[in-house]
Amino acid sequence: MSTQQSVDKRPTPDPAEDNAFFPSPYSLSQFTAPKSDLSGAEYPQPYTGGRWKILVIGADERYLMTANGTMFSTGNHPVETLLPMYHMDKAGFGFDIATISGNPVKFEFWAMPSEDEEVIGLFRKYAHQFKQPLKLTDVIKHSLGEDADYIGVFIPGGHGALIGLPESEEVKAVLEWAAANDKFVISLCHGPAAFLAVNDSPIYQGYKICAFPDVLDEMTPDIGYMPGHLTWKFGEKLKALGFEIVNDKISGETCQDRKLLTGDSPLAGNTLGKLAATALLQEVHKR
């Protein structure tokens, strides 16, 4: 990217949709990187039992309407998806990937760490599942219960998590199942917006979490990361449901409150992955 391009704060038009935009060259130069921090992914005693896996609930919609009528071309952030998965994969756990509709998981490919062979390799390993995920209603009907093979649920970040997941009865059912059966729930950045699906259920009342701060979302249009402001604040709504958001900035902070594991941003991708992998291994070795 040339110097002239890298200072351009105008959102980049998405040629696939009318009035939709990718982040500006400037914002990409500041907030994406070709390689990721993958340190600490050594697990000398990985899980080898073959049963326990993680249910991943991905975003299945790309376009997020903003307050000025433009659309943000979004999805799941690759770093916020693949770095936590990388650690859990290294620790011996497999994944089932699902979306609400059964349509493919959408990704913010402009944030893919393109020079990171380990991350790209993991993406390719699960590419078929990302393209042909399970339908969440089918998972609930056929695969959830007291004897389910899921040790946890992972909801990746990215603004795509703001579309559909917060209102989903299916996501609510999964989170209620996880709480009732003492399962892990792992998420970061905008992913915790999916917790709004629990609505009036008290299962997370008083829980501490990390999430992307509303105040920073308000600033993203200034640098062209988004083409307009969000129409609602997910952190504000989470607090109204009884969550306590422990961070007010992004620094890579993570939080574990019982079996709810969260991180603040892409900066937390690697640390949250280590936290999750270690917690999952402790659980299976205890069992």
Q: List, for residues 83-128, the tens digit of each pLDDT value.
A: 999 999 999 999 999 999 999 999 999 999 999 999 999 999 999 9
For the cut 60, the answer to whether the pLDDT of residue 1 exceeds it is no
Cα–Cα distance for residue pair 246/233, rounded to 1 Å: 16
Q: What is the mean pLDDT of residues 250-275?
A: 98
Of 111, 133, 95, 145, the closest CA to residue 269 belongs to 111
Report pLDDT for 6.
67
1-17 mean pLDDT: 80
Of 30-34, 212-216, 244-248, the least confident: 30-34
DSSP-derived letter for residue 24 is: P
Residue with tokens 């629990």: 198
Q: What pLDDT, on a 0 to 100 scale, did the predictor assign at position 199? A: 93
pTM of this structure: 0.96
Q: Active-site residue numbers? A: 189
**Is the predicted pLDDT of residue 277 greater than 70, yes or no?**
yes
Q: Answer yes or no: are the C-beta atoms of 283 and 151 closer than 8 Å.
A: yes
Q: Among 151, 53, 136, 138, which Cα is nearest to 101's?
A: 136
Nearest-angstrom CA–CA distance, 79 and 59? 14
Query: What pLDDT, on the 0 to 100 scale, is given for residue 250?
Result: 96
> What pLDDT score was predicted for residue 145?
87
C-alpha separations of 89 from 165, 167, 208, 227, 241 in Å: 25, 30, 26, 35, 33
Q: For a pLDDT cut of 90, what percent of the chain falls above it?
A: 95
**Confidence at residue 7, expressed as pLDDT on a 0 to 100 scale:** 83
Nearest to 199 by CA among 230, 243, 159: 243
DSSP letter string over 132-147? SPEEHHHHHHHH-STT
Round the average pLDDT of the chain to a whole number and report it: 96
State yes or no: pLDDT of 5 exceeds 90: no
pLDDT tens, residue by residue, 58-87: 999 999 999 999 999 999 999 999 999 999
Helices 117-125 + 78-90 axis angle, to 10: 80
pLDDT band at 200 (very low <50, low <70, confident <90, very high): confident
Say whether pLDDT at 4 is over 60.
Answer: no
